[in-house]
Structure 1
């Protein structure tokens, strides 16, 4: 099994995890995601979720995690230029840029035309970047800055 496949499998198993209490950036699982990047509760955690899933997958299949240990979405994107792709494929990490340092991220589960189907942490039913759960979303590829491919 590849790192990409294992990471998606782990992310899928997290669907439904919620903050406790809602909109607090805390809770047992959320705090595990945040600790994986060296943070305590209370921080936005979409990138920490992506890092944790990838790190857990890497350990399980004895692979190297290509991602930087960071909770910063744009920090991750800017620090990994060799992973950047413009066209998504399943397992890629999508990066959104809302300017002024604000971003959002998650995994691409599938691609259909100009739509990506995703698994994201710290989102909500409206697809917000400051939500309270791990959930499946769908997004227009045009809303995405770029994609990070975990392996070639």
Structure 2
């Protein structure tokens, strides 16, 4: 299997993980995601979740993580132009959303559905799709047009 698909498998293995207590950016699992980027509890963690999943996949493959060690969604986007994708995303790609004023959201593409709708798995969200939620969950309604872009992990 490739790095993107192994990272996606790690992400899906975390489906349902929640902050404890809710809406605190803390809890044992959330804190391991944050620790992977050098942060303690209390920070937004969607990109830390992505980084942790990729780190776990890199350990499996015994390779170096190609992502920057950051919890910043837009920092990741700006730091990794070589990973940016032009065109249609694929399973395992990392989606990047930009809400302005330095705020963003990120997660993994599971599938591209008819009508350019993405099935995703993401951390620090909820069933309503918040960028500041309390859990890891699978979503079925992100639009490709909502995305700033996508990052594709190298498979070699």
TM-score range, shorter chain: over 0.9
Matches within 5 A, 1:132-147: 132-138=134-140, 139-147=142-150
Native 8 Å contact 1:3 1:63 kept in 2: no
Native 8 Å contact 1:94 1:106 kept in 2: yes
Aligned to 1:151: 154
- SS of the aligned residue for 2:100 comes to coil
> TM-score, normalised to structure 2's length?
0.95
- SS of the aligned residue for 2:95 comes to strand
Q: Give the distance between the partners of 1:96 and 1:122, measured in 2 at CA.
A: 13
Q: Give the distance between the partners of 1:65 and 1:137, measured in 2 at CA.
A: 26
Q: Give the distance between the partners of 1:64 and 1:5, measured in 2 at CA.
A: 16
Aligned to 1:15: 15
The answer for unaligned runs of 5 or more in structure 1 is none
The answer for unaligned runs of 5 or more in structure 2 is none
Superposition deviation, residue 104 in structure 1: 0.1
Superposition RMSD in Å: 0.8
- SS of the aligned residue for 2:111 comes to strand
Q: Give the distance between the partners of 1:6 and 1:124, measured in 2 at CA.
A: 23
- SS of the aligned residue for 1:90 comes to coil
Superposition deviation, residue 63 in structure 1: 2.0
Once the two structures are superposed, residues 59-105 of structure 1 have per-residue CA deviations (whole angstroms, 9 ceiling, x without a partner) of 11112211100000000000000100132111000000000000000
**Runs of 4+ with >6 A deviation:** none
What is the number of residues matched between the two proteins?
152
Matches within 5 A, 1:50-89: 50-86=50-86, 87-89=88-90
Superposition deviation, residue 141 in structure 1: 0.5
> TM-score, normalised to structure 1's length?
0.98
